[in-house]
Structure formats: structure tokens, C-alpha cells
Amino acid sequence: MLRQSWDADVIVVGAGPAGSSAAADLARRGHRVLLLERESFPRDKVCGDVLLPSLQKPLSAIGTSLDILAGDAATIHGCGFTTATNIHATGTFRDRQGNHQPWRILPRVLFDERLARHAERCGADLRVRHSVEEVTWDQQKQVNIVTVRNRSSVNNYHAPLVIAANGAFSRFGQRSGLHQPRNSNRGYSVALRTYVQYPQQERIFEVFADADLKRGCCWLVPGPHGMANVGIGTFDSPNRPTRTNLESIFRKRIGQRVNLDGCAPMAGWLLPGPCLTRRTVTDGLLLVGDAAGFVDPFTGHGIHTAVSSGLLASTASHHALLSGMFLHHQMPLRSYEKAWRKAFGVDFVLGRLFQRLHHDQRLLDKIMLHAAHNHLWADEVMSIIGHALPRSSVMRPSLFSRIIRSQLSNRGADQQRMSGPAA
Ligand SMILES: Cc1cc2nc3c(=O)[nH]c(=O)nc-3n(C[C@H](O)[C@H](O)[C@H](O)COP(=O)(O)OP(=O)(O)OC[C@H]3O[C@@H](n4cnc5c(N)ncnc54)[C@H](O)[C@@H]3O)c2cc1C
């Protein structure tokens, strides 16, 4: 098929953070991009609204920044963690050099539209209320046929490449060769959230564990305009609580902290789990963001990986278009899989490990007890939780020796307490 008869070089399905970033980058590289979005803006997305500082780099690569997109966001500087046994520790997000790495908090209803409009300004053809129903690969002509519903009309568009950025429920992820490995237990995590009035000045992210919530936590994220984003999330587990259980744990834990009277009903969503062996490309198609399962298995954050994977997919698509190689086993699309594994692999593996450790309430109590008595340790722990320090920091011998030293000193203090005051 001749290039002139394509409707676009790349069709991007979904204008969330992953799709808009891919579309912006491809348009900046001079490609014809159709960015199809099922909803119309402004549209909400169930989220904790946390924009991590690590978004700065991929955003600047597509010609924008956190200051431009989220200049009016609230900022929070650290994390307060309360364990199920009510041990409480607070620390500040700092990088290795000791610099503050604050989070920005901006409702997705604002952030997503701003990023999509940026993609439009870069030259992508953004079409809202366009729902992609089907993507079929024509092997002979080496082109995708994309069936799109817009109100009552249905049209077919042709493009050699499709980037599926349509979120956690992506049905294109089920296309042949792209489903999750059969023996994988990397299912979905579940989260519910709502907004409450929060006039307090305290600007930290608060996390609450609970004995009834074996693998998960409740959160409170102070946002702009005197509101806070509050919610509960539970990791993928064989004995997942029901929605009613989750809401009652949420009311018990967060209700102690803020007044929940009159807050809007909780909205729920699924968070896909990443899997390093998962296939994310097939002929003429790449999966990005939640559609590929790129959500941090420990914190549930996925906007930064959505934007970064959008960029990586855009680079691969650019090379595919230059070389005319659109098949999954050819170098350009294969390079995308290599690139995301390199970029996210360590974080995903360690995130999964932290998720398991989080399950161990006694260990959590110990870590938070040390943190409650040692602010350096508290900053280190909260900075790892807050993505300000790389996850690999936990491998540092200095950190291990600090854990052992503080454990020994705690044990000494316990023994002294048990043997009573000196005569
Ligand atoms: C409760 C909760 C809290 C979270 N908190 C955070 C947080 O604080 N920080 C963070 O970094 N991450 C958070 N995440 C994860 C984050 O929301 C996702 O990782 C992120 O939204 C992924 O972006 P995306 O572009 O891949 O998908 P999405 O944001 O889901 O965007 C997909 C887009 O595709 C569109 N679409 C879907 N189907 C079609 C179709 N057929 N045709 C056309 N368009 C379609 C949708 O309308 C949507 O606009 C949270 C998730 C949950 C559930």
C-alpha cells in the first residue's frame, strides 16, 4: 500500500498520558499522527493525582514540562506512614544529593487534557468521541485497518502502525500473541478513590496500613483548592476483599483522619500488573502505558511509565517508518521491547518484592519503628517509597548495615526496658 493512501503514519488509540506523549513525539518528528480518544475533554480518570518528579525528563523530551502542565498543582514534600499497629513515621522525599524531590498533585481532569492539547499543538490530529472498535492487520498490504465509531457513524482508517494506549482494559492487548502468559499470576490490583475537603496545611502524602487489609493501604493526598484525594488500594491477591469490605476499611482508617460526611461516592478502577515476559508488540502494533501493564507494582504509580513508554514506542515507530519494517520480529519493533525492559525492569522486579514485604506486618512495624526514631532513616525509607531514591538503593551495603545497627540498638533498648530501671 502506498504511503499516500494511508490515513496516517501512526494511529494512537487513547489520549491518556501514554497516548498523548507518543502522539506529541511522533508529530514533532514530522509524522502524520491520528490521536483517537473515546471520551471528550475534560474527562476524569480515577487516580491518586500524583505527578512524580521523574516525569520531568520525558516531558521535556516532548517539548513541555511539569511547570507548563502542572504549574498550579499542589506540592507535597514527604510521606507519613502509619502501620496497622499505629506506629507512625514521617520522612521527606530527597534524592542522593539530599535535594528535595517534591510531588505535584493535580487532578487528572486537568492534567490529561493539557497533555492532549500539547500533542495537538505539536501537530497530532486529536479527535475526541472517536472510539476504536477493532484493529485488524492486513498482512498482504502491511497495514492496519482501524474501525472507529464516532457517534452513529463507523469508519475505517488505515495506518501501518497503531500504538494502543487505551488503558487498563485494553482489548487490543488480547490480540494474538499479546495476551499475558498463561501461568502468570500478575493480575489486576483494585483501587477506590474520592475527594474530601482538606483545609489543613500539612502537605505530606499519608499512608495507612490496616490489619484487615492484608495486601494494600489507604491514602490521603492533599491536593490544590483545599481538597484531598483519598482512597484505598489492594494488590492482586487470591483473597481479594469485596468492594463493601474495602469501603468499610477505608471509612475506618481515613474516617479517623478527615470528615467523610458528604463526600462523593467512591469511584473504582483496576491497576494492571507488569510482567517482564509479556509481549508488547505484534505486527504493526505496540502497547504502551496501562495497556501494556506498566504500573508500579508497589506504589500503583503509572503516569511516569505511561509517558516514558509513549516516548519509547514513538522512537521505535519512527525507526519502523524510516525503514518500512513493521513486523514484530524486525528490529524497530523488537527494539521497543528491549528498551522498556531496560528502562523499567529493575523497578518492576524490586516493586514486586516490596509488595511482598509490605504484606509482612511485623517487618513493616520494625522498619517504621526505626524510622520513627531516626529521621535520616525515615527520609531514606520515604524517599524510596516516593521514587526520589532509586529502588536499587535498598541493595546498598550502607543501608543494610544501618538496618542491622539500628536493629541491634533497638534490641539493646528492649532488653534494658525488660530488665527494669537500674537500681
Ligand atoms: C485509584 C488509582 C490511583 C492511581 N494513582 C496514581 C497516581 O497517583 N500517580 C500515578 O502516576 N499513577 C496513578 N495511577 C495509575 C495511572 O492512573 C495510570 O497508570 C495511567 O493513567 C496510565 O495512563 P495511560 O495513558 O496508559 O491510560 P489511561 O490514563 O487509562 O488513558 C487511556 C485513554 O484511552 C481512552 N480509550 C480507552 N478505550 C478507547 C478506545 N477504544 N478508543 C479510543 N480511546 C479509548 C480512554 O478514554 C483514556 O483517555 C492510579 C491508578 C488508579 C486506578
Residue having the nearest C-alpha atom to atom 10 of ligand 1 = 301
Indicate the SS3 state at residue 23.
helix
Asked if residue 332 lies in contact with residue 316, where contact means CB atoms within 8 angstroms, the answer is yes
pLDDT digits (tens, 9 = 90+) for 44-100: 999 999 999 999 999 999 999 999 999 999 999 999 999 999 999 999 999 989 999
Mutational pocket test of ligand 1: of 11, 12, 38, 134, the residue with most ligand atoms within 8 Å of the beta carbon = 38
Does the beta carbon of 266 sit less than 6 angstroms from any atom of ligand 1? no
Per-residue pLDDT at 345 exceeds 90: yes
Model confidence band, residue 181 (pLDDT cutoffs 50, 70, 90): low
| 415 vs 271: which has the higher pLDDT | 271
Q: Does ligand 1 lie within 6 Å of residue 104's CB atom?
A: no
pLDDT in the model for residue 240: 75
- Counting ligand 1 atoms within 8 A of each CB, the residue from 105, 127, 303, 305 with the most, and so the one to mutate, is 303
Q: Which atom of ligand 1 is nearest to the CA of 148?
A: 42
> Using a 6 Å cutoff on CB, does residue 134 contact ligand 1?
no
Residue 304: how many other CB atoms lie within 10 Å: 24
Which stretches of 274-372 are assigned E, i.e. beta strand?
281-282, 285-287
Q: Using the 8-state DSSP alphabet, how is residue 55 labeled? A: G
Residue 146 CA: distances (Å) to CA of 46, 132, 149, 349, 381? 27, 7, 10, 35, 47
How confident is the model at residue 85, as a pLDDT?
95
Residue 318 CA to ligand 1 center (angstroms) comes to 24
Q: What is the pLDDT of residues 84-140, one digit of tens each?
A: 999 999 999 999 899 999 999 999 999 999 999 999 999 999 999 999 999 999 999
Q: Is the pLDDT of residue 183 over 80?
A: no
Q: Which atom of ligand 1 is nearest to the CA of 17?
A: 25
Q: Can you tell me which atom of ligand 1 is nearest the CA of 231?
A: 1
Please say whether the dihedral angle defined by the alpha carbons of residues 239, 243, 244 and 250, taken in this order, is positive or negative. Answer: positive
Asked whether 295 lines ligand 1 (CB < 6 A), one says yes
Per residue in 184-197, pLDDT (tens digit) is 445 678 899 999 99
Distance of CA 174 to the CA centre of its chain: 21
User: What is the whole-number distance in angstroms between the Cα of residue 281 and the centre of ligand 1?
Assistant: 20
Name every residue whose Cβ is closer than 8 Å to that of residue 78 and which is 6 or more positions away in sequence. Answer: 90, 91, 92, 93, 204, 205, 379, 382, 386
Cell of 197: 475537603
Task: Indicate yes or no: pTM above 0.85.
Answer: yes
Summary mean pLDDT of the chain: 90
pLDDT band at 423 (very low <50, low <70, confident <90, very high): very low
Query: DSSP letter at 94?
Result: B
d(CA 270, CA 43) in angstroms, rounded, equals: 17
Residue to substitute in 301, 307, 348 for testing ligand 1 pocket (most ligand atoms within 8 angstroms of CB): 301
pLDDT, residue 397, reads 64
Residue 422 has pLDDT above 50, yes or no: no
- AA identity, residue 373: H
Q: Is the bond preceding residue 160 a cis peptide, omega within 30 degrees?
A: no
Cβ of residue 269 lying under 6 Å from some atom of ligand 1: yes
Residue 291 CA, closest ligand 1 atom number: 26
Atom of ligand 1 nearest to the CA of 39: 47
Maximum CA pair distance of the chain? 94
Q: Is 302 in the pocket of ligand 1 (CB under 6 A)?
A: yes
Task: State the Cα–Cα distance between residues 196 and 223, nearest whole angstrom.
Answer: 10
Percentage of the chain with pLDDT > 90?
Answer: 73
Q: Tell me what the mean pLDDT of segment 209-230 comes to.
A: 93
CB of 35 sitting under 6 A from ligand 1: no
Beta carbon of 216 within 6 Å of any ligand 1 atom = no
- Domain chopping of the chain, boundaries: 3-73+101-183+273-355
Buried b (16+ CB within 10 A) or exposed e, 38-64: bbeeebebbbbbbbbbbbeebbebbeb
> In this structure, what are the phi and psi dihedrals at residue 380, rounded to the nearest 5 degrees?
-65, -45
Hunting for cell 489520549 — which residue is that? 15
CATH of 3-73+101-183+273-355, one of 3.40.50.150, 3.40.50.300, 3.40.1010.10, 3.50.50.60: 3.50.50.60
pLDDT score recorded for residue 405:
60
Q: Which of 34-43, 357-366, 402-411 is predicted with the least confidence, judged by mean pLDDT?
A: 402-411
- Give 361 Cα–ligand 1 centroid separation in angstroms: 30
Band of pLDDT at residue 272, cut at 50, 70 and 90: confident
Please give the number of the atom of ligand 1 that sits closest to the Cα of 294: 19
> Residue 21 pLDDT more than 60?
yes
pLDDT confidence of residue 399: 62
Q: How many CA atoms lie within 13 A of 54 on its CB side?
A: 19
Helix, coil or strand: residue 365: helix
Q: Is the CB of 284 under 6 A from ligand 1?
A: no
Residue type at 360? Answer: D
pLDDT of 185 reads 47
| 341 CA to centre of own chain | 16
Test site for ligand 1: of 43, 45, 108, 288, most ligand atoms within 8 A of the Cβ: 45
